[in-house]
Amino acid sequence: MAPIVVVGGGIVGASVAFHLRNADRDVILYERDTPGAGTTGDSIAQFVTHQEDPDPTEYRLRERAWEWYSEHAAAGRFSFEQIGTLHAAGSPETMTHVEDLVARHRELGVDVELRSAADLAEFGIAPSAVEGGAYFPRDGYLDPAEIVQYFLGEAADAGVGIETGVAVTDVLTEGGAVAGVETSDGTVEASAVVNAAGPWSGRIDDMVGVSLPIRHTYGPILVLRADHEVRMPLTFFDEGYYLREEGRDQVFAGRFAVDYGNAHDLDPDRVHRIDQEFHLGVGDLLATTVPNLADADVTGEWVGLRTVTPDGHPIVGPTGLDGYYVACGMSGYGIVRAPVVGEVLADLVTDATDGTGGEFRDHVSPDRFG
pLDDT in tens, 290-342: 999 999 999 999 999 999 999 999 999 999 999 999 999 999 999 999 999 99
329 near 298, Cβ under 8 Å?
no
Third-level CATH fold of 4-43+144-213+311-369: FAD/NAD(P)-binding domain (3.50.50)
Packing angle between helix 334-349 and helix 11-19, nearest 10 degrees? 40
pLDDT of 188 reads: 98
pTM for this model (two decimals): 0.96
Same fold for the domain at 4-43+144-213+311-369 and the one at 82-138+215-308? Answer: no
The neighbour count for residue 51, using CB atoms within 10 Å, is 17
78 near 143, Cβ under 8 Å?
yes
d(CA 42, CA 56): 29
pLDDT of 353 reads: 58
Burial class for 214, CB neighbours closer than 10 Å (0-12, 13-18, 19+): buried
Show me where the domains of the chain are located: 4-43+144-213+311-369, 82-138+215-308
pLDDT of 97 reads: 97
Beta strands in 57-137 (DSSP E): 80-82, 85-89, 113-116, 132-136
pLDDT of 315 reads: 98
At 100 the three-state DSSP class reads helix
Homologous superfamily (CATH) for 82-138+215-308: D-Amino Acid Oxidase, subunit A, domain 2 (3.30.9.10)
